[in-house]
């Protein structure tokens, strides 16, 4: 593991070189969030005092989006899929075929270093922003909810990474993978609960989404924290999320094994 620890440290150093970019991304990323919060405040104001949308009061709805922002900062894939596809297209993976380094664990080390660096740089503006809405913030529903949420966040990060890694493997077969990445991002943005909480959807549609990995990429850990999912349902959800992590891991391994058979180095 020492070599991957070294990759992690190198990734931290490289990311800190572009810390202003991380800071700018974090600051400008708060602008759409402000717009969404203002929109929901207007919706609730029009419904009258004590109104709710689905099972959410105004405070719970704003808490949902604030928590979503934190989970997204901890788990979102940031250009890793593009970089992996570029490595394949440009022949840079040739060096990993000649050295005792597993490319998947190499990229995972860089992914973790990138998330930690981003969170460190974005922490101050994020805390200031959340302090402005402190009256809406809710505490965890309990110790089990907090522990379950932390486990779910760790698995969310792995699920996001393995999914993006498997998608990037398409670069072995097609020259440009951007279309596929954008399609996946569009589905994920809506079906993961990024745009709105999934439990305000019609029950049939919500249940259908749980047959996909998308709810476990964002909505699930936030719902655990807020107590929307608890007890046996929480345990069952954690096992399902773990199953999706394992499935996407083996999918990533399978795509690499098949793709490397048709790989022809064009550079590197």
Q: Please determine, for residue 91, whether its predicted confidence score (pLDDT) is greater than 60.
A: yes
268 found inside a domain: no
Sequence-ordered alpha helix ranges (H) in 54-102? 58-75, 80-90, 94-98
150 found inside a domain: yes
Range of the domain at 207: 2-262
Q: How many residues does the chain have?
A: 268
158 found inside a domain: yes
Give the pLDDT of residue 265. 62
Residue 246's pLDDT band (cuts 50, 70, 90): very high
**3-state DSSP call for residue 24?**
helix
Q: 176 exposed, middle or buried (CB, 10 Å; 0-12, 13-18, 19+)?
A: exposed
Domain count, the chain: 1
Q: Please determine, for residue 253, whether its predicted confidence score (pLDDT) is greater than 90.
A: yes
248 found inside a domain: yes
Average pLDDT over residues 201-225: 91
- Residues 195, 189: contact at Cβ < 8 Å? yes
Q: Please determine, for residue 248, whether its predicted confidence score (pLDDT) is greater than 90.
A: yes
What is the C-alpha separation between 223 and 64, in angstroms, rounded? 8
- Residues 115-169 have pLDDT tens digits of 888 777 777 777 887 787 777 777 787 888 899 999 999 999 999 999 999 999 9
Give the pLDDT of residue 46. 76
204 found inside a domain: yes
Q: Is the pTM of this model over 0.85?
A: yes
Rounded to the nearest integer, the mean pLDDT of the chain is: 85
3-state helix, strand, coil in the chain (%, to 5): 80, 0, 20
């Amino acid at each position: 593991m020492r070599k991957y620890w070294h990759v992690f440290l190198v990734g931290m150093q490289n990311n800190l070189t572009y810390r202003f970019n991380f800071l700018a991304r974090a600051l400008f990323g708060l602008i759409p969030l402000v717009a969404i919060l203002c929109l929901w405040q207007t919706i609730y104001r029009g419904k009258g005092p004590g109104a709710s949308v689905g099972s959410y009061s105004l405070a719970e709805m704003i808490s949902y989006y604030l928590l979503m922002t934190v989970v997204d900062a901890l788990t979102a894939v940031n250009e890793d899929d593009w970089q992996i596809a570029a490595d394949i297209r440009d022949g840079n993976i040739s060096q990993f075929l000649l050295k005792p380094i597993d490319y998947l664990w190499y990229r995972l080390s860089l992914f973790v270093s990138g998330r930690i660096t981003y969170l460190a740089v974005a922490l101050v503006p994020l805390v200031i922003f959340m302090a402005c809405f402190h009256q809406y913030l809710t505490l965890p529903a309990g110790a089990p909810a907090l522990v379950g949420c932390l486990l779910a966040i760790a698995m969310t990060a792995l699920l996001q990474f393995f999914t993006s890694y498997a998608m990037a493997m398409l670069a072995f077969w097609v020259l440009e993978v951007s279309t596929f990445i954008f399609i996946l991002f569009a589905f994920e943005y809506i079906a993961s609960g990024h745009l709105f909480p999934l439990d305000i959807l019609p029950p049939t549609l919500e249940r259908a989404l749980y047959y996909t990995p998308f709810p476990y990429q964002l909505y699930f850990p936030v719902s655990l924290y807020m107590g929307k999912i608890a007890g046996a349902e929480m345990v069952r959800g954690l096992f399902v999320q773990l199953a999706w992590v394992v499935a996407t891991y083996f999918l990533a391994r399978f795509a690499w094994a098949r793709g490397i058979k048709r790989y022809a180095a064009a550079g590197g």
